Amino acid sequence: MHRLSIDLGNRGYPILVGRGLLDDPAVLAAAVPARDVLVVTNVTVGPLYLDRLVRGLAGKRVASVALPDGEQYKTLAHLERLFDALVAARMNRDACVVALGGGVVGDMAGFAAACYQRGVDFVQVPTTLLAQVDSSVGGKTGVNHPGGKNLIGAFHQPRAVISDIGTLSTLPARELRAGLAEVIKYGLIADASFLGWIEAHVEALLALDGSALEHAVRRSCELKAEIVAEDEREHGRRALLNLGHTFGHAIETATGYGEWLHGEAVAAGMLMAADFSRRLGWLGATDVERVRRLLERTGLPTRAPAIGASRALELMAMDKKVQAGRVRLVLLPRLGEATVSGDYPAELLSAALVEHFGAAA
Ligand code: NAD
Ligand code: GLY
């Protein structure tokens, strides 16, 4: 088992990465000291892993709730089910919410924990690659709004993250590829040698090779933990974690939540960010081709849907990085290094959006 930690003073916590952690009583007892526990899962993950987790929590008063499965249910309306379950089980301030599932379950359970009685503990037990490398770490929680992704939420750090690599064996291949998009993101924004490692291990990762997956999760979490420790509330460097997300969120919102997976939209968005960095004279054409090739080998989409440039820009303007009406983008001065900038010619962005999203929907 690898044990990383995220250094946030009294809100710091361990990130445990290994096999068989999901029902390890010693791991769970240390991570979940509370007596009263609400496990939040969904109708797909629950039948696979809930019993094991509950057995590992023996001796506690455990209630559980299974949400419907899908990004389209990451809404305020469905959040109410979690508050209803907490109230029905008469949970108090000393209760702990445990999120068992992917990023949708984690974001919703975390937001419920942030709000219930003005904040109770929560623990992340992520079961998708995307959640293990990204969404379970860093304390961003929330739900979508029809007008934009993740517009309603709170920062609420978990008290532990328990990533059991074994759970990835049941993950559909498409979801595995979507998680790899976020792994590639870390190489692109922060670690050129990790990018080279991913290029050398794509086939192993796609074949669910245990040691390759463990390395990918561990290195991604190290990079994320370092950035979040430096900038917990995203006043600066944390925004780099959103490479491809401004374009990607526009894709997710325009196509209806759930049609494009988050990681797929991020993949197409990262290629757009690389291409725009080339238009600004930063990356070379061979760099952009290198990104495209890696995404293609991973089986990720590299072409945006034809939602039209003006609709894309309208949705991008709802991005949380917008400042004084200016869409700020995460761009790549070189592979392995990122920056956030709103300082580019607007016509250049318009031309790029027409090329990627089409002139009209
Ligand atoms: P997801 O939660 O929808 O899970 C993907 C699918 O896999 C679902 O159908 C789920 O039921 C299924 N599943 C989960 N674990 C499984 C397993 N072990 N075996 C079989 N099936 C399993 O999607 P995701 O990609 O994990 O997360 C995407 C969400 O995360 C988006 O809402 C995105 O906005 C959010 N996100 C949040 C952050 C953050 O910092 N909070 C970061 C990145 C993404
Ligand atoms: N996924 C972006 C962040 O956690 O900041």
Ligand 2 atom nearest 239 alpha carbon: 5
CA nearest to 17, candidates 124, 141, 155, 150: 124
Which listed ligand is nearest to 130 at the C-alpha?
A: 1
The single residue listed with the structure tokens 């692109």 is 188
Domains of the chain: 2-170 (3.40.50.1970), 173-357 (1.20.1090.10)
Q: What is the dihedral of CA 329, 230, 112, 183, to 10 degrees?
A: 60
* φ, ψ (nearest 5 deg) of residue 312: -60, -45
Q: What is the pLDDT of residues 201-252, one digit of tens each?
A: 999 999 999 999 999 999 999 999 999 999 999 999 999 999 999 999 999 9
Q: What percent of the chain has pLDDT over 70?
A: 100
- Ligand 2 contacts (CB < 6 A) are 134, 138, 140, 238, 241-242
The pLDDT of residue 345 is 94
Ligand 1 atom nearest 140 alpha carbon: 41
The pLDDT of residue 361 is 64
The pLDDT of residue 344 is 93
Residues 6+ positions from 218 with CB-CB distance below 8 Å = 2, 4, 17
The pLDDT of residue 324 is 75
* Helix (H) or strand (E) run with residue 250 in it: helix 245-255
Ligand 1 atom nearest 48 alpha carbon: 19
**CA 46 to ligand 1 centroid distance, Å:** 14
Residue with CA closest to ligand 2 atom 3: 241
Whether residue 24 is predicted with pLDDT greater than 70 in this model: the reply is yes
